[in-house]
Amino acid sequence: MEYIAKKLIGSVEYDGELVDVISPYSGEVVTKYVKCDINDAKKALEIAKRAFNNTKRSPLHQRIAWIEDVANKLKENKEYFALLITKEVSKPISQAKIEVQRCIENLELCAKELINLNGETIHTDATTTGVKSDSFYKRVPAGVVVAITPFNFPLNLVAHKIAPALGAGNSVVLKPTPEAPFVAYSFAKLFIESEYAIRDAISVVYGDADVGSELVKNPIPRIISFTGSVAVGKIITQNAGIKKVTLELGGNAATYVESSADLEKAAKRCAVGAFSNSGQVCISLQRIYVDEAVYEEFAEKLATESKLLKVGSPFDEDTFMGPLINDDALNRAKSWVDSAISEGANLIAGGAIKENNVFTPTVLADVRDDMNVVCQEVFAPIVSLVKVKDFDEAVEKMNNSPYGLQFSIFTNRLDLTKRAIEEFECGGVVVNDIPTVRFDIQPYGGVKLSGIGREGAKYALEEMTEIKSVVIF
């Protein structure tokens, strides 16, 4: 069977020149996609603009049934979609299965939240000038949504955008990551082929920066929803014009391990947070600030836990960590580790390149604040240990970053927990677990360079609607 992601311009599929998708693990061609250009992007936007006339008028019960139907179809094909994820991006199959399950739950949450997408009565008679009026507002579809998604969660992060967009009554043009086009194509087909589908409500185009640039600059979209790098996020904000822009960008997730914490639990969870999906998660644990009283003990425990993780073929059920996404990511990780070691960091686990683009789980101790592995987003299986004398120093160092997605703290002290919640400069705080924890029902997003806006069913629905205010005399 050949896995070809065709162009989906509205509800019509198109063939064309094919581009190979190479497995990060095997180096073999695993899927192909049809190359798109600027004209394809323009055509998709024009069709989405016309489709919006129907999506905005569609009854709510139809859109709810639509999303529920896709969730049910995904349930019936869980193994298939998990295998596709593993084929294209080499995510370990056990983690790919979790992503599919999360996607199902995400869709179900979105369908439920649509019922609660309400307006509000406004008391205009609170002022003397409004005494003879009644007022309320309602939420209405915004228009055409452009969704641009990354490789690390090629299914669920697509769902986080297109489900609330379509559910709210918008039309969508999706540009998925070129590393996993067939996952996105297959998922979009579930929407298109549903008995509740609104014709031409979703298009899928693939391509490079030219295609993305056209989607962003074109005057048709009302909303740009992007998950990816800070560099691209900056370009989008510069080029989008007057549009609603939601950006889920990079992170430099940190935790503080305080002396009263359960060090055994903290070490086990920190290994998971740092190395899940080979560290290719926006909230991958990258910086660990450890109380000097327990620093040596914790470092030893973390190194031990890291060495226990099984790396290798992503198709093996017991593999925890597979390869990095490509050679560039692998070489960058290696160079940053080598640079840190040359500057005085101590390698206590990992740091080696294995066959098939696997970079072993790497723990660096005695890391300084000016090293790339600390001050930049690594997006690789590398975690750095920094010794601190107390909570105040930890907070200062954690906040001294251009990123602010999620932080966490391990402690048994209530006073420090309360202070962490108030003083951490980030979009989310996790207590007694890793900052890599995300539940799809929560508002998710960051501050500073980590982004603008929030995802999560309820919050994405609000982002993808407009408020229409009404006054009646």
| Interatomic CA distance for residues 130 and 134, integer angstroms | 8
What is the three-class DSSP state of 423? helix
Q: Where are the alpha helices (DSSP H) in 343-383?
A: 372-375
Buried b (16+ CB within 10 A) or exposed e, 134-173: ebebebebbbbbbbbbbbbbbbbbbbbbbbbbbbbbbbbb
Q: Check if 110 is active-site.
A: no
Specify the residue for token string 């990258």. 286
Q: Check if 248 is active-site.
A: yes
**Residue of 103, 110, 270, 282 marked catalytic:** 282
Which two structure tokens, joined as six digits, stand for 243? 């549009």
Half-sphere exposure of 135 (CA within 13 A, CB side): 15
Q: Please state, in angstroms and as integers, the Cα–Cα distance from residue 365 to each residue in 255, 272, 298, 340, 350, following that order.
A: 15, 18, 11, 10, 12
3-state DSSP helix/strand/coil percent for the chain, to nearest 5? 40, 25, 35
Which two structure tokens, joined as six digits, stand for 38? 């600027």
For 432, left (φ over 0), alpha (ψ -120 to 50), or beta? Answer: left
- Cβ(249)–Cβ(228) below 8 Å: yes
Beta bridge partners, 172, equal 145, 202
| Interatomic CA distance for residues 55 and 166, integer angstroms | 8
- Cβ(177)–Cβ(148) below 8 Å: no
Torsion of CA 428, 434, 436, 437, to 10 degrees: -70
Strands (E) in 6-47, as ranges, are 7-9, 12-14, 18-22, 29-34
**Residue of 113, 248, 258, 305 marked catalytic:** 248
Q: Please state, in angstroms and as integers, the Cα–Cα distance from residue 433 to each residue in 264, 268, 282, 466, following that order.
A: 12, 10, 16, 36
Which two structure tokens, joined as six digits, stand for 340? 């840190």
| Interatomic CA distance for residues 186 and 188, integer angstroms | 6
Ordered DSSP codes for 275-303: HGGGG-STT---EEEEETTTHHHHHHHHH
What is the three-class DSSP state of 415? helix
| Interatomic CA distance for residues 199 and 51, integer angstroms | 7
Which are the catalytic amino acids?
248, 282
